[in-house]
Amino acid sequence: MSEVLLHAEKIDKNFGVTHAVDHVTLDFFKGEIHALIGENGSGKSTFTSCLTGIYHKDSGTFTLNGKEINAKNQVDGNYQGVAVIVQEIGTLSGLSVAENIFLGKEDEFTKFGVKNTNAMNKKAQELLDAYGFNYIKATELIDNYNFEDRKLIEIVKATHFKPQILVVDETTTALGEKGRIELFKVMKQTRDDGRCVIFISHDLDEVIEQSDNISVLRDGVFIGTVKSSDVNTDDLKKLMVGREMSNNYYRTDYDEVVSDEVVLKGENLTVPGEIDDFSIELHKGEIIGIGGLSECGMHEVGKALFGASYDREGTVTLADGTKINDIKTAIDHSIAYASKDRDNESLVINDTIQDNICLPSLEDIKRNHILHGKDEKAFAEKFAKQMSTKMEGVHQFMSALSGGNKQKVVLARWIGKDSDIIILDSPTRGIDVKVKADIYQMMDTMRKNGKSIIMISEEIPELLGMADRIIIMKDGRQNGEFKRSEDLKDTDLIANMV
Amino acid sequence: MSKFQKFKQSQVFGLLLLIFIAFVFWAFFKALAPQTFGDFNKLQTYLKTALYYAVGGCGLYFICVMGPFDMSVGANIVLSSVLAVNMSKQFGYAGLLIAPIISGVLVGLINGIVYIKLRISSLIVTAGLSLVYEALSIYATNGKEAILATNYRAFGDYPWNLVLALAAFLFCGFILKYTKIGTYTYAIGSNEVVAKNMGVNVDKYKVVAFTLCGFFVGIESILTISYGTSMTSASNLASMSRNFPPLMGTFFGLAFKKYGHPIVAIVIGEFIIELLFEGFVALGAPTTVQNIVTGIVLLAIVTMTIKPVKGAVVK
């Protein structure tokens, strides 16, 4: 094996009573892509955040090339040889592309307190051109670029100075095909240069495909390292969860007859620039999967059906004739919606688990027109526990939860509301296999209890495994419909997506 | 993107739009009150007032972009102006120029430090401190009106008011474009947490923003006392009304930020507001009507310029 580049010695980090990273000792080698996997809340991101300066570790040491490093923040980390690309957006609106690339490094272009903006712009443009992103202009406001392009700019920002260690933290879930290809190119280049990539992803196939070695964390504890070429996804699942996982956690039925009763009908739905003349009929006890490439308009369909789209044309009608034109009417008529953008559109991050779960059900929790704290707590605890949410208690703030547990709170909220129609946009995005299995189980139980589900997903196995019917979208329009079948292949769906 | 769409995002378009709005208001009032509104001499007078409000607006811009707010601008103007009068008696123009700038900077610095240390809303902090600054202005004048001697009023008229204001605008533009402070002002306003993770000392730059605000308010005080020639100390938050004229220019700066020249927008914005006020005066409209219409027009202009995204969270 090649030379150790980074040695982590007994890294320890606590958040209150939660022991997020428990004395982890781990080596990363020169010229490798080293994946870090584990369930949500296993400590992967906390570990790398301690390395890159986002968090400060409680104890332990990182030694890079034989020298101890201790990053105070991300830019300080950059100067010490480590960089990170995060899952969510990491660029700042209101600044130019060049200012974003060199944020925190202005001193490189500053003399006597005066910033040489032209030199900074020129350098940034050279970098963008060198990465092949010459259509991105360094002088333009970053606001003029879409999410994907902003991620590409982030890749330039994090890698242009050739960091010894590049952390890629669940970035791929936020990227489309183009972004992934560019990211993987940069990762491979980093490895080929004799540096190291620490790659965090929940997509185990992707992990095996892209990495050389895989280390597993469970509940903040280092479990072990395996060679990617020696394992398959089931081996990894077992290592992550600590027990055998069922090989197939999707539905196994293929011959169940779906009710004829239509519970929701969307007709000729159009949202300018997003969806075009889209129609759908959802039956009682049915799971409809909607898939496609990320920009195909499918995410807007969820909003349109929930009455949350602006400038929507067409109608959404319930079985009793009620028209759904706004969110309040939707919730009042037992429709639930979990957005893909969990932190910004589904959860009140700076609030407690209790308040998040109780929010749409306050009218039901009230006694004699008054809300009682005890009742709210009992309500929240009941549904948080039903979803096996990992938490200190329902008083805990959402911001302290991992991605998977946040999603459990979103689902607990709507289970608490006992909604009959549930629209789930990317329900398992950035979520580990165990929580995924829990969510699929919950969906199956709901379906059997007569609830109807629309599941919007970019994951083809999920669509094939869970949906009674799959609608594929392309360029804002429906481009194929498939009934649940054992013979249905991912290639059938892909052919209609591209 | 079509050429027209590109043009609509350009700096030239933003500038033309501002000039067009100013022209429309001028033409409107000129048509209704041709004798009493808008000749060349009067326009010069309107610009004179707009200039000193715009200098304060530049200072407020740093704070407002970051997110907090400063309710002590009025009290700062009152305190800095009376100190300018007092110091001019002893040190002449040096006292008139230096004292209010030092006073303004100190007030801004105190605002920033208290805001950062107490970790409570900037609105509450600066409103509370306004009472202190007002009290200090009473001590400085013994409750009497401070009158600037006639031989020190050069900055109340052209060309020196213009020279001082232009110097302030250029300095503000320079800070925004050619120093880290400008970049960090926008970075903190965009996402404080990400800025912090990028090594930006958020607390420090917030204090810098308050201090810069105080600096520009200090300059506004020189122009205010030079033009108005006297200042009465304030109490019970009577200085609050002085907060709003510079703030209106800041609104324009924020709304036209996307076109890349907020300082120009602040100056022309203040001029537009001045045209409105003076237009109503020329028409003989009651002050209440002036205020209602001016407020509505300001909101309309800012709303049209920003074109808020549907569904976007506005705080």
Give the three-state DSSP class for A6: strand
- pLDDT(A432) > 80: no
B204 touches chain A (CB under 8 A): no
Confidence of residue A244 (pLDDT cuts 50, 70, 90): low
Q: CB A75 to CB B257 under 8 A?
A: no
Judging contacts by C-beta atoms under 8 Å, the chain B residues touching residue A92 are 186-187, 190-191, 194-195
**The pLDDT of residue B213:** 98
- For residue B255, the distance in angstroms to the closest alpha carbon of chain A comes to 12
Judging contacts by C-beta atoms under 8 Å, the chain B residues touching residue A90 are 194
| A258-278 pLDDT per residue, tens | 899 999 999 999 999 889 999
**The pLDDT of residue A340:** 87
Q: What DSSP assignment string belongs to chain B? A: --HHHHHHTSHHHHHHHHHHHHHHHHHHHHHH-TTTS--HHHHHHHHHHHHHHHHHHHHHHHHHHHS---S-HHHHHHHHHHHHHHHHHHHTHHHHHHHHHHHHHHHHHHHHHHHHHHTS-HHHHHHHHHHHHHHHHHHHHTTSEEE--GGG-GGGSTTHHHHHHHHHHHHHHHHHHHSHHHHHHHHHHH-HHHHHHTT--HHHHHHHHHHHHHHHHHHHHHHHHHHH-EEE---TTGGGGGGHHHHHHHHHHHHTGGGT-HHHHHHHHHHHHHHHHHHHHHHT--HHHHHHHHHHHHHHHHHHHH-PPTT----
Share of chain A above pLDDT 90, in %: 60
Strands A213-218 and A196-200, by their bridges, are unpaired
Residue type, A185: K
- C-alpha span between A491 and A475 (Å, rounded): 19
Phi and psi at A201, nearest 5°, equal -155, 150
Return residues 63-82 of A near B (CB < 8 Å). Answer: 72-76
- C-alpha span between A107 and A117 (Å, rounded): 11
Hey, of A115, A153, A303, A343, which one would you mutate to test binding to chain B, going by the most B CBs within 10 A of its CB?
A: A115
Higher pLDDT: A146 or A156? It is: A156
- For residue B43, the distance in angstroms to the closest alpha carbon of chain A comes to 34
A49 touches chain B (CB under 8 A): no
**The pLDDT of residue B306:** 61
**The pLDDT of residue B304:** 66
Mean pLDDT of chain A: 90
Return residues 131-190 of A near B (CB < 8 Å). Answer: 141, 143-144
Q: CB B199 to CB A114 under 8 A?
A: no
Hey, of B8, B194, B306, which one would you mutate to test binding to chain A, going by the most A CBs within 10 A of its CB?
A: B194
Per-residue pLDDT of chain B (315 residues; tens, 9 = 90+): 677 877 887 889 999 999 999 999 999 999 999 999 999 999 999 999 999 999 999 999 999 999 898 999 999 999 999 999 999 999 999 999 999 999 999 999 999 999 999 988 898 999 999 999 999 999 999 989 999 999 999 999 999 999 999 999 999 999 999 999 999 999 999 888 888 888 889 999 999 999 999 999 999 999 999 999 999 999 999 999 899 899 999 999 998 888 888 999 999 999 999 999 899 999 998 888 877 877 787 777 767 656 555 555 555
Q: CB A94 to CB B187 under 8 A?
A: yes
Average pLDDT over residues A101-115: 92
Pick from A52, A97, A49: which is nearest to A78 by CA?
A52
- pLDDT(A80) > 70: yes
**The pLDDT of residue B90:** 95
Confidence of residue A179 (pLDDT cuts 50, 70, 90): confident
Q: CB A311 to CB B310 under 8 A?
A: yes
**The pLDDT of residue A177:** 78
Report the chain B residue with the minimal C-alpha distance to residue A93.
B190
Question: What are the residues facing A213 on neighbouring strands?
Answer: A34, A227
- C-alpha span between A395 and A377 (Å, rounded): 8
Pick from A466, A451, A456: which is nearest to A417 by CA?
A451
Residue B197 has its nearest CB partner, among A74, A107, A310, at A74
Task: Provide the edge-to-edge strand list for the sheet that holds A4-15.
Answer: A18-29, A4-15, A59-64, A67-69
If phi > 0 it is left, if psi is from -120 to 50 it is alpha, else beta; for residue B233 that is beta
| pTM of the complete model | 0.74
ipTM computed for the complex = 0.80
- For residue A62, the distance in angstroms to the closest alpha carbon of chain B comes to 19
**The pLDDT of residue A470:** 96
Confidence of residue A239 (pLDDT cuts 50, 70, 90): confident
Which residues, including other chains, have CB under 8 Å from residue A60's CB and lie 6 or more apart? A8, A9, A10, A11, A12, A23, A24, A50
Q: Quick check: A408 and A387 in contact, CB under 8 A?
A: yes
B186 touches chain A (CB under 8 A): yes
Residue A424 token pair: 């789930």
**The pLDDT of residue A382:** 94
Report the chain A residue with the minimal C-alpha distance to residue B202.
A104
B198 touches chain A (CB under 8 A): yes
Q: CB B311 to CB A74 under 8 A?
A: no
B139 touches chain A (CB under 8 A): no
Q: Quick check: A290 and A473 in contact, CB under 8 A?
A: yes
Q: For chain B, how far is it from start to end, CA to CA, in angstroms?
A: 31
**The pLDDT of residue A349:** 81
- pLDDT(A293) > 90: no
Confidence of residue A122 (pLDDT cuts 50, 70, 90): very high
- pLDDT(A358) > 90: yes
- For residue B150, the distance in angstroms to the closest alpha carbon of chain A comes to 39
Give the three-state DSSP class for A114: strand
| A391-425 pLDDT per residue, tens | 889 999 888 887 788 888 999 998 898 999 999 99
Which residues, including other chains, have CB under 8 Å from residue B76's CB and lie 6 or more apart? B103, B104, B107, B108, B133, B214, B217, B218, B221
| A215-226 pLDDT per residue, tens | 999 888 999 999
- C-alpha span between B261 and A189 (Å, rounded): 41
Pick from A488, A35, A45: which is nearest to A233 by CA?
A35
Residue A321 token pair: 């004739």
Q: CA angle A327-A330-A336, nearest 5°?
A: 95
Query: Residue A252 CB: number of other CB atoms within 10 A?
Result: 10
**The pLDDT of residue A202:** 82
**The pLDDT of residue A341:** 82
**The pLDDT of residue A1:** 55
* 3-state helix/strand/coil string of A233-280: HHHHHHHHHCCCCCCCCCCCCCCCCCCCCEEEEEEEEEECCCEEEEEE
A53 touches chain B (CB under 8 A): yes
Judging contacts by C-beta atoms under 8 Å, the chain B residues touching residue A141 are 258
Residue B191 has its nearest CB partner, among A72, A92, A106, at A92
B194 touches chain A (CB under 8 A): yes
- pLDDT(A292) > 70: yes
**The pLDDT of residue B16:** 94
| A6-41 pLDDT per residue, tens | 999 999 998 766 688 999 999 999 999 999 998 777
**The pLDDT of residue A348:** 85
B308 touches chain A (CB under 8 A): no
Q: CB A115 to CB B311 under 8 A?
A: no
Q: CB B198 to CB A104 under 8 A?
A: yes
Q: What DSSP assignment string belongs to A294-341? A: TTSSHHHHHHHHTT--SS-EEEEEETTS-B--SHHHHHHTTEEEE-SS
Return residues 99-138 of A near B (CB < 8 Å). Answer: 99, 103-104, 106-107, 110, 113-115, 117
Residue A117 has its nearest CB partner, among B65, B177, B200, at B177
Hey, of A45, A79, A92, which one would you mutate to test binding to chain B, going by the most B CBs within 10 A of its CB?
A: A92
Residue A115 has its nearest CB partner, among B9, B178, B190, at B178
Phi and psi at A13, nearest 5°, equal -150, 130
Give the three-state DSSP class for A217: strand
b/e per residue B187-200 (b: at least 16 CB within 10 A): bbbbbbebbbbbbb
- pLDDT(A249) > 60: yes
Hey, of B180, B185, B259, B306, which one would you mutate to test binding to chain A, going by the most A CBs within 10 A of its CB?
A: B180
- C-alpha span between B241 and B75 (Å, rounded): 10
Residue B105 token pair: 């900077």
Q: CB A310 to CB B9 under 8 A?
A: no
- C-alpha span between A371 and A363 (Å, rounded): 9
A94 touches chain B (CB under 8 A): yes
